[in-house]
Amino acid sequence: GACSRHGVLVKGSNYLEALAQLESAVFDKTGTLTKGQFAVTEIHTLDMTQEDLLYYAACAESISNHPIGHAVQAANQRPVTAGSLQKAEEIAGHGISAVVDGHTVLVGNYRLMEQQHISCERVEETGTIIYVAVDGAFCGWIVIADEIKPDAQIMIARLKELGVKQIVMLTGDNQKTAEKVADKLGITKIFSQLLPGDKVTCLEEILQQKSKQGTVSFTGDGLNDAPVLARADVGVAMGGLGSDAAIEAADVVIMNDQPSKLADAVVIARQTRRIVKQNITFILIIKLMVLILGAVGLASMWMAVFADVGVAVLAILNAVRIIRK
């Protein structure tokens, strides 16, 4: 009840208990720590105009629902007609291969260029780099930037105050972009240039390092995050922008996409565990005392009623403090 008032849906009491023992918090970058609202900030071309480069990229990205693809399409000024795109295929974790106006177009990351044996140099700039090749020749790259969520830094600081030992960021972006975001947020450990399947491998590594009692959470929002959310001790999904698959796989859902709500959930989980321990201790002590008094003939009927109904009422009133707080 207290979590739901703060916009956090917890799917079971066992996940609330796992949050109370949180030792490592792992985050996806795009859409989780950042807004996922991308915009084209730079265009660099070789033997092609910027308008043509954006047009080819936008045609190829028209089959994509990814925010990066939407940013490219929004920046394109030339109309994309129904006949512009003859053929398109999405290459998972790499990009898109398409035929645009009779030209073979490749749009994606550096791995796509390597896979297709396109000669180009790796670009090291802040932001997400989209490489574009037309008819087997590298034509240029597009820089797309994202904005960090306002309360992401607050959330990281609060988790550290709560004693979370390790905060990790996973991203498919290049190392330079990942380091810039991590520096702003105060994250010391990052895994960059990851394919969707690599995130599970990274999480497995973190799970092996945890203590026996500690737990590891993963927070993400994308379709590719579903396997990682399912593997973590506590999977946390962004409910507003998150995909249906991510929300289904998650154990905890943050309904308003504010990452700081994770820290709220940890605080509530620890308060809940503390009050549960208080109630169990109180109940056992009272019942044991009345049991001993009853054995020696000193317990009255009213003492027995108090040990049963009265103790239950007091435990409930103690638990209600969580909602008020």
- Write out the catalytic residue numbers: 28
* Cβ atoms within 10 Å, residue 293: 15
Q: Are strands 95-100 and 103-108 parallel, antiparallel or unpaired?
A: antiparallel
Amino acid at 31: G
What are the C-alpha distances in Å from 221 to residues 39, 47, 192, 237? 19, 38, 17, 5
Residue 315 CB contacts under 8 Å (≥ 6 apart), including other chains: 279, 282, 283
SS3 state at 150: coil
Question: Which regions of 12-148 does DSSP assign to beta strands (E)?
Answer: 22-28, 39-45, 85-91, 95-100, 103-108, 128-134, 137-145
Rounded to whole angstroms, the Cα distance separating 56 from 165 reads 46
What are the C-alpha distances in Å from 280 to residues 254, 273, 285? 30, 11, 9
